[in-house]
Structure 1
Amino acid sequence: MQKTLKTLCAVALTLSAVAGSAMAQDAYPTKPVTMVIPFPPGGVADTVGRPVAEAMGRHLNQPVVVLNRAGAGGGIGMAQVAKSAPDGYNVLLALSSVVVLPEADRLLSRPPQFELAQLQPIARLTADPTVLVVRADSPWKTYAEFIAFAKANPGRITFGSSGNYGTMHVPMEQLKAATNSFLLHVPYTGAGPAITGLLGGQVDALASGPASVAGQIKAGKMRALAHWGEGRLATLPDVPSFKELGVPISYSQWSGIFVPAGTPAAVVTKLREAARVAAQDPKTIQIFTSAGTSFQFQDMPEFDKFVQDDAKAMLAVLKKIGKVN
């Protein structure tokens, strides 16, 4: 009888704990959610993340607070979320470099800051080809003039990036490899500082998502020479793709939301709903349009496959590029 009572008590406690956990998940979120953007303000991730965080917060009835956690080409902020508690209160707004950085660390014979398997994809938000830009007062009016100078003057043209093997660095390494040219890499802590460096004359060129440079191009401060996409871009219809110019390279700078692997399914479902609502929000769509980008939304199942496919493709690119400074 005593053993039976003890067994019944143990079962009751277990059921109570399970029920309490389920109720906590159903109630999520009960406090503000932190969205980690692993880059400084002013870049594509920030341009995308802030309006999305605001729209998601309205749907979740809790603020989604943006935290810029820059460093190591985005690796520090990505690792912070990957290693955080899987409770839905730390989400990551990552760029496509999230699939590159662990492999880049291995390429450089150092322990990865995080593994892609530590992160659960929630939703893709944007996917834009990068654009090669120079200052409007630069001597290069066309890509042909730019690459001709680069080949005749190895190392004279400098380009900025958000950090080694980041979304602004990899496409430029593709360009160097495809054209057998030498451009000098100057890494910054993020896209915002790199763009400031270009405008201030510290570097000569860079590759960036359209959202970060469209305003500067419209204002006559930058000139776009080519892009890594297919065909012509709606926001930059006069700018040719590299494929049009006979250079067989492509690169997409996508953005998406991730949470730590192991986050409860009920919490993941609520975050997926919030991301979908944000992608349909008229205010957010207008902000994106003004910034020169648009939602290219993918929900979790499709985005998960997209991430895995992109990781394989970028691994092949990294092996081709090899170790770089």
Structure 2
Amino acid sequence: MKKVFALLLVCLFVVVVAGCGGQAEKFPTKPVTLIVPWAAGGGTDAIARGLAKNTEKALGQNITVNNVTGGGGAVGHGAGLNAKNDGYTVTMITFELLSLPPQKLVPFTYKDYDLLMRLNTDPAALTVKADSPFKTVKDFVDYAKANPGKVNVGNSGPASVWHIAAGLLEEKAGIKLNHVPFNGAAPAVTDLVGGHIQAVTVSPAEVQSQVKAGKLRMLAVMSDKRDPNFPDVPTFKEAGLDITFATWRGLAVPKNTPENVKKVLADAFKKGYDSPEFQAFAKKAGLGLAYAPAAEFKTFLDKTSANTEAVMKKLNLTK
């Protein structure tokens, strides 16, 4: 009788432990937060919200987008890096993870995260008001040469991707611009529409609605090919300047997030990415989709990081 009782206790113990273990390993059991280091309304925010909406079903939980702005992307990236590594906080990492470290503005790099995937790449575009006297890149460059430092060009933060894009334009065209920083592309574009600055060097997706509404005019894109959403807009190469430059966006979680948790997140976000709804959304928004899994994403960042630092050194943006 005692042996039977002891056996029952052992069985009960095994069942309880197994049940507890299974419950502990289940993920997710509550909503997930997606940190966006930039202001609402910009390209990063747009792709984050579109992806979150179409990933919730696959994940089985709500995904809340949290815009954590400031410091040219430093504040949001830092918040994501320092979050608990339980998978409930994902960060939309951006190009600035490559440009902030060379300036000694942050004590971390992309290597301090666990990568999930790359989502897209978007070229820079030079855009002005629809009633601007600048009809072409040549008009813009000629005026800037004759008026050094007088053309106010908005960007998404000091030494941000779009600041570097404008810096490349300066270098290649031999001009001097006045760089005006904002907490993201959206407020920069708003100020351009309002006539407070003369141009922006943000992505086509971030000015698409205003261009199509007739409020802004895109002069050229920094890519090898014309943007399919703007077939009449030339590339900078076609406009006489050899400039190609683009941003990228991806997903990452804090270092040492459990492998099973990362797999659940990666699988769910990939399903959201592949959904017809998200693909249609991205196409309509003008976002250049360019998926890459974690390993391929890291290889891309290793190469891009070295190239970015080299460009920044030429522009005297490093410390």
**Residues 17 and 156 of structure 1, relative CA distance in 2, 3 Å threshold:** farther
Q: In structure 1, how many angstroms separate the alpha carbons of the residues matched to 2:317 and 2:283?
A: 37
- C-alpha deviation, 1:261, in angstroms: 1.4
2:208 paired with 1:214: yes
2:3 aligned residue: none
What does 1:7-26 correspond to in 2, within 5 Å? Answer: 24-25=24-25
What does 1:100-111 correspond to in 2, within 5 Å? Answer: 100-104=99-103, 106=104
> Does structure 2 retain, via aligned residues, the 8 Å contact 1:76–1:113?
no
Counterpart of 1:52, as a letter, is: L
2:45 paired with 1:46: yes
Q: In structure 2, how many angstroms separate the alpha carbons of the residues matched to 1:249 and 1:29?
A: 44
Counterpart of 2:274, as a letter, is: Q
1:85 aligned residue: 84
Indicate which of 300, 310, 319 corresponds to 2:294. Answer: 300
> Does structure 2 retain, via aligned residues, the 8 Å contact 1:231–1:244?
no
> Does structure 2 retain, via aligned residues, the 8 Å contact 1:150–1:181?
yes
**Residues 63 and 319 of structure 1, relative CA distance in 2, 3 Å threshold:** same
- C-alpha deviation, 1:97, in angstroms: 1.6
- Counting matched residue pairs gives 304
Q: CA RMSD in A?
A: 2.0
- C-alpha deviation, 1:281, in angstroms: 0.9
1:263 aligned residue: 257
Superposed CA offset, 1:2-44 (max 9, x none): xxxxxxxxxxx9xx9999677534x111111100001110101
- C-alpha deviation, 1:116, in angstroms: 2.2
Q: In structure 2, how many angstroms separate the alpha carbons of the residues matched to 1:64 and 1:307?
A: 26
> Does structure 2 retain, via aligned residues, the 8 Å contact 1:125–1:297?
yes
> Does structure 2 retain, via aligned residues, the 8 Å contact 1:167–1:253?
yes
Q: In structure 1, how many angstroms separate the alpha carbons of the residues matched to 2:317 and 2:47?
A: 30
1:320 aligned residue: 314
**Residues 280 and 245 of structure 1, relative CA distance in 2, 3 Å threshold:** same
Q: In structure 2, how many angstroms separate the alpha carbons of the residues matched to 1:296 and 1:323?
A: 28
2:109 paired with 1:115: yes
2:93 paired with 1:94: yes
2:6 aligned residue: none
TM-score (norm 1): 0.89
What does 1:277-288 correspond to in 2, within 5 Å? Answer: 277-288=271-282
2:215 paired with 1:197: no
SS at match of 1:67: strand
- C-alpha deviation, 1:240, in angstroms: 1.5
Indicate which of 126, 144, 147 corresponds to 1:150. Answer: 144
- C-alpha deviation, 1:182, in angstroms: 0.6
> Unpaired segments of 5 or more residues in structure 2?
1-12
SS at match of 2:244: coil
TM-score (norm 2): 0.90
- C-alpha deviation, 1:157, in angstroms: 0.7
> Does structure 2 retain, via aligned residues, the 8 Å contact 1:75–1:113?
no
Superposed CA offset, 1:258-295 (max 9, x none): 11111111111111111211111111112112211242
Larger radius of gyration: 2
**Residues 142 and 264 of structure 1, relative CA distance in 2, 3 Å threshold:** same
Indicate which of 212, 228, 233 corresponds to 1:239. Answer: 233
Counterpart of 2:58, as a letter, is: H
> Unpaired segments of 5 or more residues in structure 1?
1-12
> Does structure 2 retain, via aligned residues, the 8 Å contact 1:134–1:223?
yes
SS at match of 1:298: strand
Q: In structure 2, how many angstroms separate the alpha carbons of the residues matched to 1:21 and 1:179?
A: 63
Deviates more, 1:234-243 or 1:35-44: 234-243
Q: In structure 2, how many angstroms separate the alpha carbons of the residues matched to 1:34 and 1:143?
A: 41
